[in-house]
Structure 1
Amino acid sequence: MLPCSFFILPDSNITYVYWSYIPRSSRTKVYSWVQGKVFVDDSPYVGRVSMDDTFTLAITQTTLQDARVFVCQVGAGSLGVGENRTELRVYKAPEPPEIHANEAGISVGTRESQEIAECVVRNSFPGPNITWLKDGHRLHPEDDKVKIMDTRTQEASGLFTARSRLLAHVPRQDRHAYFQCQAHYLLAGGDRQAQSPKVQVHIFYPTENVSLAIDAPRPQVKEGDHVALRCQGDGNPPPEYSFFRVQNNTATGEEEEQELSGKADKGVLSLGKVHKENTGHYRCKGLDLDTMETLTADAELVVNYIEGLKVTKESPEPVLEGHNLTLTCEARGSRPLAFHWHKDKKGKALGSGQQLQLSNIMREAAGNYICEVTMPGVQGLSRNKQVLVVVYGKPQVSVEKPGVPVQENELVTLTCTALAQPEPSITWSANGTVQNRTENYSVVSNLTVQVTSKLMRSGINCTATNYLGVVTHHVHLERRMTPTTPTTTAPAGNATAEQKPQESKGVIIVAVIVCILVLAVLGAVLYFLHKKGKIPCGRTGKQDITKPDARKDEVVVEVKSDKLPEEAGLLQATNGDQKPAGDQGEKYIDLRH
């Protein structure tokens, strides 16, 4: 946008406006306005220029060739002609800087300066400038230490491409340094900058030191750990490595090197899972192929171990109940050891030290005793060994039930368990079918026998025997109650009882029901006789309802009521005449008719 700046009196009229450019000395019109009419002149700007109401000229699709002087001329009739000039400048930002490090590398020992990297900045207008940075700090040309060689080329498009080469003597300390270039260019509004990515240069230098380290999971190596020897030199390229085990010749007193077989990958030699035999003095050698100098480094490997673990019992065999027992744990190791005792795999801790004292042993103390040996300061190194302690004693006998409810002639099965070492034998005082089995140092015996009256009187004995003693347990056979339930048959006029075995609660319930039924039958009989007129009502304690002189073939039945007042009331109620309990007495029933 090129503005046309001018001043004119308020009452004056503008007759024309011409826009021209000056390629050299002459002018070339590009746009004209004459008394309200627009004319686009034949020029390279046809189709790319336009003008608004303020006579500002707009140019589109700007190129580098548009960088020239434009003239705005304004005519105002009798007031004369005025013009102003505008210089159009065109800027083009470059592409991001490209940096290419020296892939061949640089040797520290070379006296001449060597190229570190080249920087290229393309397609900029006007042409850019290039500077260099090392670890963020600008480099300046410095005699023979740092050289910067710049070139600039204008392409056919009119844009510029700049190139810069950095040459320098690089010391060993620069092996970790980062280099980058920076482009400086102009844009409307001021100076701009663009930086390239950072690069490192391969620097070759001789080996000055070699170190040997032990690669292990932990500082204190134990048997079974994966261990490797790591040899490292500080040269680039690294030296050739070889590994040796060093031993002293007892005869000559001199060192002897035994080269270790195996491929050392990048200075690492794996020893695999180590054992105590791997303990010793190791050496690494590094050969610098440039200087042909050999450097060495040594290291000591100590493999910690525990061996010779055993547990002994210091008492006569077998161990008897009530006796004492001493367990002793022995082991050897590369360092001082710690001893711990516990019973079974997940049992509680019993103590520490090489000996475990067990006093007044009971059969519950039988089982596996474990001695665990650890090496303080060596993580993960432990060994354990267990010993079985068997306690001998006379049998312990138990039965499922000391009293068994039975009925005569039925088959019952009794169970007797005997716990002891040595294993006991079980006998029964009754003849029957016996089945024995062994479970966890105990014998379980099942006796199946038919119940007789003799067995119910005497009971049955279970006897367990071993050479340390005899123990007998008595099983009492209890008679099981069998309640009776009355049933009636109308035609026959007699009653039969069906016996069924019941539990104690069932027996009580049946007895109550039977009593109620008997009372109901008796009440019905009395009520029936009363209706027939056989029983007169009265309040006397005793009434004679028979004739004074009874015949010998006549039967008189005396019924005495021992019922509670409530039951008496029920009987009276059946007669329709209730009487107090105090009026109840002896009654005579005439059964002659």
Structure 2
Amino acid sequence: MDTRLSVSLLAGLVLLLHGFTAWAVVNVEMEDRVEVLKGETAQMTCMFSSDDGIGALTIQWFYALKTGEKQIIYYQDATVQSVERGTQFTDRIAVNVTAATGEVLLTITDVQLKDQQEFVCLVTSLTDGYSEGRTKLLVFERPDYLSIEGSQTGIYADKDALAKIGFCEVKNGFPKPNIIWYRNNTPLQAIPDVVKVVHSTTTESSGLFSVSSELSLKVMKEDKDAQFYCEVTYLVPGGTKMIETNRINITVYYPSTEVHVWVESPKGKIKEGDSITFNCHGNGNTPSVYAIWHKEVEYELQNNMLILENVTRRHNGRYECILTDMETYDDLSGNATVFVDYLDAAVVLPAEMELDHGEEVTATCNALSSLQTHTAWFKDGGELAVGHTLRLKDANFDTAGTYTCVVTVPEIDGMKKMETLRVNVKGPPEITKTVETHFEESLANKVDLICQVRGFPAPEVVWTTSDGEVLEPKSHMKEMDSVHSVVSVAVTSDLTAFCNASNKYGADALTFNIKAKSNGVIIAVIIICILLLAILGSVLYFLYKKGKICGRSGKQDLTKEKSGKDNIVVEMKGDNTEDAILLGVNGEKLSPSNQ
């Protein structure tokens, strides 16, 4: 405070020096308001103008109390800059003065709700008087919680009393948020006996506001599809923000005036063996009981559905669905008619035939149906004929086999019946000649001989060899008109085997010739080994003659007269002598000098 007294005395001195000089005016300008979010930093600018320099000015910042008085928070003159101690802003403010532009900037960090005050900038000149400006600091906080909860119970339509629809709540906003209810994007306003909205506000210990709102209205049937939600608007620096809750529906009960029953599946025509699913619904949604009646038989429904499995033509007829309203106990009914199409089993006449070669016969196939049918005959996967009648001409073994009659209903997929006809053609055995009958095989190997025979009755098959031995088959498959037999033969020498087939109409045979051959690979290996040994012996002898082995110096006279005969020598040593005896090619002993 001594410093401020000195400044006052100095100001008086300046006034005396100026004498009767006219007073000038100090001018201060500030924004009306500064807006900031809670927890952020606020900046307020005080713009001043004066004929005196900055050294002749005193700058002070205040905030207005509720009593209307001002509380100083900052002081600055030519010699002093100080922050007032003991205020709520002491540790959070900073002031920056730019003399060239006449700007004083007050910065407040970590702004809180209680900082929402009116701030005063006072600039005093030693000669020009003083001027002040005011700025309101407005603090905002976004709400951090928004919820909506709809009615958990069903509501009956067209009741006189208002029913609670939902409850909305928003928490921790500043200033106080605002809640508006919507139905299908249309805002709802209070209407006596039709719409009622009750708001309530809570001030939290933090100073933030929480707002809740409850909607009640007179429910109509049309509200069953309505979407309700809340819109919350709140202020932020520079404008207004809006958020919405999720949409909710309410359960509206209203009585049925009609009942509908229909076949849900299958779509289209129904055939025996299908499962029929009935659906029965009223056009209301009050709690009700449903039942379906057919030929004085009552069926209970599950979730408004009835499933009849594996239906037959006995399920034809009229089905009536009866709805009983559990509030009024009134009955309503609706009906649907069902027809089940059928296809009986196919009947083939005759079911089996035994034909002579060259014979001609006819078979028929029929199946009773409620719809138009299509009949076709198949053998070995191929279609032979279309129609109820099958004619077989000039029968032979190729005629024999199983024929399948397939009866279908073109109008309904999967509606099909099948029956078979077995045809046997009598005759002596016939052995397939296309198999391999001549073999060349190495000794000790095995050969599989195959005999395929057809004939009716199925022939007996016996395997024999040329020397009368009976061979046991490796496999033997016998059918009504054919035999497939396989025998495995070990090759020890040339062999002839016979497949003998016979039935009461005759016999047939097939000859197999097997020629044994030696194992050429082994002989070739032996010959190669002998040749390699001979070559090795020649190399050893050559080295020996050159003195490269057996202690020979190798410095013999190359001009020495050769013997008249080529002397191929072999060194032979006894156990009791160190002398070597060389034998010539004629068995003659060679003296050491001739070695």
* TM-score when normalising by structure 1: 0.67
Where does residue 410 of structure 2 map in the other structure?
Answer: 376
Alignment RMSD (CA, Å): 3.8
User: d(CA) in 2 for partners of 1:183 and 1:195?
Assistant: 6
User: d(CA) in 2 for partners of 1:127 and 1:462?
Assistant: 111
Paired residue total: 449
User: d(CA) in 2 for partners of 1:145 and 1:299?
Assistant: 42
Please list, as runs of the form range in 1=range in 2, the aligned pairs for 1:90-239 lying within 5 A after superposition.
Answer: 90-142=139-191, 144-239=193-288
Deviations 1:29-50 (A, max 9, x none): 0111232422221322221222
Q: Is the 8 A contact 1:313 1:325 kept in 2?
A: no
SS in structure 1 opposite 2:398? helix
- From the superposition, tell whether residues 287 and 463 of structure 1 become closer, same or farther in structure 2 (CA, over 3 Å): closer
Please list, as runs of the form range in 1=range in 2, the aligned pairs for 1:57-72 lying within 5 A after superposition.
Answer: 57-72=106-121
Code of the residue aligned with 2:243 in structure 1: it is A
Choose from 495, 498, 504 the match for 1:466. 504
Identity %: 28
Q: Is the 8 A contact 1:340 1:351 kept in 2?
A: yes
Moved more, 184-193 or 224-233: 224-233
Residue 198 of structure 1 and its aligned partner are, at CA, apart by 1.0
Where does residue 51 of structure 1 map in the other structure?
Answer: 95
Choose from 298, 310, 334 the match for 1:259. 298
- From the superposition, tell whether residues 86 and 372 of structure 1 become closer, same or farther in structure 2 (CA, over 3 Å): same
SS in structure 2 opposite 1:173? helix
Please list, as runs of the form range in 1=range in 2, the aligned pairs for 1:159-558 lying within 5 A after superposition.
Answer: 159-246=208-295, 257-260=296-299, 264-313=301-350, 317-344=353-380, 347-397=381-431, 419-423=454-458, 432-433=468-469, 439-440=478-479, 441-442=481-482, 466-467=504-505, 470=506
SS in structure 1 opposite 2:149? strand
Where does residue 16 of structure 1 map in the other structure?
Answer: 58
Residue 182 of structure 1 and its aligned partner are, at CA, apart by 0.8
Moved more, 37-46 or 363-372: 37-46
Where does residue 588 of structure 2 map in the other structure?
Answer: none
Moved more, 18-27 or 119-128: 119-128
Deviations 1:549-593 (A, max 9, x none): xxxxxxxxxxxxxxxxxxxxxxxxxxxxxxxxxxxxxxxxxxxxx
- From the superposition, tell whether residues 310 and 73 of structure 1 become closer, same or farther in structure 2 (CA, over 3 Å): same
Deviations 1:17-75 (A, max 9, x none): 11111213221101112324222213222212221244311222323322221111123
Code of the residue aligned with 2:504 in structure 1: it is N
- From the superposition, tell whether residues 242 and 414 of structure 1 become closer, same or farther in structure 2 (CA, over 3 Å): closer
User: d(CA) in 2 for partners of 1:157 and 1:356?
Assistant: 99
User: d(CA) in 2 for partners of 1:463 and 1:318?
Assistant: 21
**Structure ID, larger Rg:** 1
Choose from 63, 78, 83 the match for 1:35. 78
Code of the residue aligned with 1:86 in structure 2: it is T
Q: Is the 8 A contact 2:169 2:212 kept in 1?
A: yes
User: d(CA) in 1 for partners of 2:89 and 2:215?
Assistant: 44
Q: Is the 8 A contact 1:72 1:84 kept in 2?
A: yes
Q: Is the 8 A contact 1:153 1:161 kept in 2?
A: yes
Code of the residue aligned with 1:29 in structure 2: it is I
Code of the residue aligned with 2:122 in structure 1: it is Q
User: d(CA) in 1 for partners of 2:70 and 2:149?
Assistant: 48
Code of the residue aligned with 2:73 in structure 1: it is V
Residue 369 of structure 1 and its aligned partner are, at CA, apart by 0.5
User: d(CA) in 1 for partners of 2:130 and 2:287?
Assistant: 84
Code of the residue aligned with 1:91 in structure 2: it is F
Deviations 1:513-567 (A, max 9, x none): xxxxxxxxxxxxxxxxxxxxxxxxxxxxxxxxxxxxxxxxxxxxxxxxxxxxxxx
User: d(CA) in 2 for partners of 1:63 and 1:32?
Assistant: 23
Code of the residue aligned with 2:76 in structure 1: it is W
Moved more, 216-225 or 237-246: 216-225
Residue 389 of structure 1 and its aligned partner are, at CA, apart by 0.8
User: d(CA) in 2 for partners of 1:177 and 1:83?
Assistant: 58
Residue 239 of structure 1 and its aligned partner are, at CA, apart by 1.0
Residue 200 of structure 1 and its aligned partner are, at CA, apart by 0.9
Where does residue 570 of structure 2 map in the other structure?
Answer: none
User: d(CA) in 1 for partners of 2:390 and 2:313?
Assistant: 29
Residue 331 of structure 1 and its aligned partner are, at CA, apart by 1.0
Unmatched segments (≥5 aa) in structure 1? 247-256, 406-412, 448-455, 481-500, 504-593
- From the superposition, tell whether residues 98 and 418 of structure 1 become closer, same or farther in structure 2 (CA, over 3 Å): closer
Residue 134 of structure 1 and its aligned partner are, at CA, apart by 1.4
Residue 191 of structure 1 and its aligned partner are, at CA, apart by 1.9
* TM-score when normalising by structure 2: 0.66
SS in structure 2 opposite 1:240? strand
Q: Is the 8 A contact 2:400 2:425 kept in 1?
A: yes
- From the superposition, tell whether residues 125 and 432 of structure 1 become closer, same or farther in structure 2 (CA, over 3 Å): closer
Where does residue 5 of structure 1 map in the other structure?
Answer: 47
Q: Is the 8 A contact 1:13 1:76 kept in 2?
A: no
Residue 471 of structure 1 and its aligned partner are, at CA, apart by 6.3
Q: Is the 8 A contact 1:97 1:182 kept in 2?
A: no
Q: Is the 8 A contact 2:202 2:211 kept in 1?
A: yes
Residue 236 of structure 1 and its aligned partner are, at CA, apart by 2.4
